Amino acid sequence: MDLVTQLGLVGWGGIATIIVLLGAAMALQNAMRRRKVDDEPAALDIVSAGSAKHAPGLASIEAAAKEAASFSRSKPKPSRGEARAYVEGGEPPNPFEVHKRNIESAKQAFSAARNSALITIIHHDYDEYVDHDTAVSVIDTLRNIQPNAPVDIVLHTPGGISSATQQILHALKAHQGQITAFVPYRAKSAGTMIALACDKIVMGPNAVLGPIDPQYGWMPAQYLSELTSAKSADRVDDEMIILSKMAKQAMAEARQFACEYVHDAHKHNGTCTFTDELIIGGRNHDYPILPGEAKNEFYLNISTEMPEEPYLICQPPPKVDPMLIVSMFRDTGLESTEAERAARNFRARRRADVDLFR
């Protein structure tokens, strides 16, 4: 047998050996994966986790998120749908879907415990605020319940558009049943006005309300209204003169309808002079009004006996790596929908909008 033929046989033999080794490695890897899936329990659903501090059947959102991410081997196998899906399909539960279900569970438990209609006005991101969609949601909820039904509003918002806020205030004033506002963390600006329209305000011990002074974009209307008196007309351009006059009008309108929609339970000796303090009192728009100041200085009908469920309802969605979010959107067919929603929200933030309470 010549040298070339011998080299060829050795080459084919080596290739065959490599193929056999690769096949054995793949078989071993698959066996290890199957064993890992059998050994790993899935995350516990928040509704089943519960704690002594939380309402029965509810756990903290943070604990549930950690459970969903860890798949700890130290816990027994759960019998929940997420565990079955993970074992059968090999995919962990979507943290956003888990969060959504947990929030809905907290809402249902809170509404059932208080036998009330529940409205939530919750904003986490910088491009979320009280807008006309918020007004439509509140109005529709109120018109689809009994006129005297008790209503609970969970507020977590930085503020919003004045015209949308006024629609909400008008709808709340027309409702005949008792309305209670729950502020676990913050209800600033327009959120403060919505709280003041309710019979009672329940605040977390560290929750804050805020001034309701009008804003033109990033400029306080009060300062803008004083521009023409602080500078001579020849030193102010035409646009700023117009804005200054509009700001004066906005201040007058804010003082008028802020008092109009404040519930009688928050008026001291039948008056609502505190609204002037919140509008032209000289406080920065970001000034935090804690429960003690709200109760003792502004005489608001404030309670700090906050149940646990509003805290759960206001928990933000999980924060993950942006590339992972894009990957999840592509996998679930949500990429275009989410992108369109983000673009729509961005376009809605017009700098020229007059926002009396934001």
φ, ψ of residue 317 to 5 degrees: the values are -65, 160
Q: How far apart are CA 255 and CA 264, in angstroms?
A: 16
> Which comes out higher in pLDDT, residue 228 or 95?
95
φ, ψ of residue 11 to 5 degrees: the values are -60, -45
Q: How far apart are CA 214 and CA 159, in angstroms?
A: 11
302 beta partners: 201
pLDDT, one tens digit per residue, over 36-78 is 445 444 333 333 333 333 333 444 445 544 554 454 344 444 4
> Which comes out higher in pLDDT, residue 107 or 63?
107
> Which comes out higher in pLDDT, residue 133 or 340?
133
Structure tokens at 114: 């208080």
pLDDT, one tens digit per residue, over 151-172 is 999 999 999 998 999 999 999 9
What is the separation, in whole angstroms, between the first and last Cα of the chain? 92
Mean pLDDT of the chain: 75
Find the mean pLDDT for residues 187-204.
96
pLDDT confidence band for 14 (50 / 70 / 90): low
What are the residue boundaries of the structural domains of the chain, listed by start?
1-35, 40-92, 99-313
DSSP H helices in the chain:
3-39, 46-49, 61-70, 81-89, 95-114, 132-143, 162-174, 190-196, 221-225, 227-230, 238-261, 274-280, 291-296, 309-313, 322-332, 335-348
Multiple choice CATH, 99-313, 3.90.226.10, 3.90.1150.10, 3.40.50.2000, 3.30.70.141: 3.90.226.10
Query: Who contacts 244 (Cβ-Cβ below 8 Å, separation ≥6)?
Result: 224, 225, 226, 227, 228, 236
Only one residue has tokens 């565990």, namely 83
pLDDT confidence band for 237 (50 / 70 / 90): confident
pLDDT of residue 110 exceeding 70: yes
What is the pTM for the complete model shown? 0.65
Q: How far apart are CA 182 and CA 206, in angstroms?
A: 13
> Which comes out higher in pLDDT, residue 17 or 4?
17
pLDDT, one tens digit per residue, over 258-270 is 889 999 999 888 7
> Which comes out higher in pLDDT, residue 222 or 32?
222
pLDDT at 353: 39
φ, ψ of residue 255 to 5 degrees: the values are -65, -35
pLDDT at 354: 39
> Which comes out higher in pLDDT, residue 74 or 330?
330
Find the mean pLDDT for residues 141-145.
96
Nearest to 184 by CA among 98, 115, 126, 122: 122
59: DSSP letter? -
